[in-house]
């Protein structure tokens, strides 16, 4: 019989501890081995119980979840942490910091620190605990995750010199993008993007579009965080945004970001739409990447990174068939090897590379298409 996933629940609210336990008790693969009322209690319970996965509330009195997480990682480096955060700007910033410090993933409480409707995210919580357990097993097998981490601003990458592409039927204004890098990512995405995007040069001759599966309340803060750490500006996409070189846009949560042709000026612009409504994720990588391909054609670079499921895999196949360049993250660094694996198995990846090499592959792809 397969061993059950041992989970420790950490939350200062007794009601939340009961609700989380009730949700996890519905999953036969999961065993709640203990609960902790605050960060200090979590450190002691982790020492006693050695759980596979810890659900950690971020906002707690006495010792918050972030501080507790760092102490637990010192005594139990292979612990997999799923953070529970509030759907606020402060909650978003704390969540991104936790992910950068080593948390596996997060689940946003739907209505604040104490959410009586937590059951709404019950399936998501169970799925992420299962994924966190698999990730922890991978770490234990290897002793540590084998990532060749490079400095954030890697001067050894040769900057791409902007080169004018062939003029389209309608002349585009200077700085308008003729090449698009479209990146799709889900579970494990924020920390992986922080490893890749800051390595791209300030004069990248392409626009960069990112679809990260994330709640609507988080995407603006995430875009600002990327902008603070990258060599060119990032922003949450808005309807009507024009696509410029050396610029990044992050799809807003809860709505699809698509690229359409401005009928007057001929340039690509962003549209936001609720259609199609039947996608598993909104925003959808497939929807955005297919729209990018429709406008940019062979000048599309599709990139698919860590994530559960197969969103983006079919669009990667479409990009490769159309003559674009496609890059999928290798299993050796993918936090969850779901989305990139599907792209690879369907023949949608012309390049497979670990995360620490993907920035370099993007630079080479842009240079090839310029």
Q: Which DSSP string do the residues of 214-255 spell out, in sequence order?
A: --HHHHHHHHHHHHHHSSS-EEE--TT-B-BTTEEEEPPTTS
Question: Which of 86, 133, 186, 246 does the annotation list as catalytic?
Answer: 186
Residue 44, both tokens: 């002691």
CA nearest 6: which of 55, 39, 75, 43?
A: 55
Question: Which of 86, 94, 213, 310 does the annotation list as catalytic?
Answer: 213
Residue 221, both tokens: 């803060």
Torsion over CA: 121, 123, 126, 130 (sign): negative
d(CA 329, CA 306): 7
What one-character DSSP code corresponds to residue 266?
-
Cα dist. 272→14, 226, 255 in Å?
A: 41, 21, 6
CA nearest 9: which of 96, 154, 118, 111?
A: 118
The answer to whether 41 is a known catalytic residue is no
Residue 122, both tokens: 């019950």
Torsion over CA: 91, 5, 27, 341 (sign): positive
d(CA 304, CA 330): 10
Cα dist. 320→306, 343, 352 in Å?
A: 19, 11, 13
The answer to whether 76 is a known catalytic residue is no
The answer to whether 311 is a known catalytic residue is yes
Question: Which of 46, 57, 310, 311 does the annotation list as catalytic?
Answer: 311
Active site residues: 186, 213, 311
């Amino acid at each position: 019989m397969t061993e059950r996933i041992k989970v420790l629940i950490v939350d200062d609210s007794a009601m939340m501890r009961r609700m989380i336990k009730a949700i996890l008790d519905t999953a036969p693969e999961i065993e709640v081995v203990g609960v902790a009322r605050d960060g200090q209690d979590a450190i002691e319970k982790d020492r006693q119980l050695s759980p596979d996965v810890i659900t950690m509330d971020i906002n707690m009195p006495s010792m918050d979840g972030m501080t507790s997480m760092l102490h637990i990682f010192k005594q139990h480096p292979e612990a997999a942490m799923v953070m529970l955060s509030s759907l606020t700007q402060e909650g978003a910033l704390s969540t991104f910091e936790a992910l950068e410090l080593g948390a596996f993933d997060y689940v946003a409480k739907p209505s604040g620190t104490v959410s009586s409707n937590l059951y709404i995210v019950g399936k998501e919580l169970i799925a992420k605990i299962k994924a966190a357990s698999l990730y922890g097993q991978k770490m234990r097998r290897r002793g540590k995750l084998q990532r060749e981490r490079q400095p954030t601003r890697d001067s050894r990458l040769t900057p791409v010199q902007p080169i004018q592409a062939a003029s389209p039927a309608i002349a585009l204004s200077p700085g308008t993008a003729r090449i698009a890098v479209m990146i799709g990512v889900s579970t494990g995405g924020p920390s992986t993007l922080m490893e890749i995007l800051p390595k791209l040069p300030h004069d990248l001759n392409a626009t960069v579009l990112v679809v990260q599966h994330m709640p609507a309340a988080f995407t603006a803060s995430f875009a600002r965080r990327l902008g603070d750490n990258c060599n060119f500006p990032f922003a949450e996409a808005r309807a009507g945004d024009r696509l410029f070189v050396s610029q990044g846009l992050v799809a807003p949560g809860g709505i699809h970001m698509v690229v359409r042709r401005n009928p007057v000026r001929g340039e690509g612009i962003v549209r936001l739409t609720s259609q199609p409504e039947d996608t598993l994720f909104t925003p959808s990588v497939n929807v955005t990447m297919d729209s990018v391909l429709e406008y940019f054609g062979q000048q599309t670079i599709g990139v698919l990174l860590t994530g559960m499921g197969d969103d983006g895999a079919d669009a990667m196949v479409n990009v490769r068939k159309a003559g674009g360049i496609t890059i999928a993250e290798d299993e050796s660094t993918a936090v969850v090897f779901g989305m990139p694996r599907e792209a690879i198995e369907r023949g949608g990846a012309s390049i497979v590379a670990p995360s620490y090499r993907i920035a370099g592959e993007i630079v080479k792809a842009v240079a090839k298409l310029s």
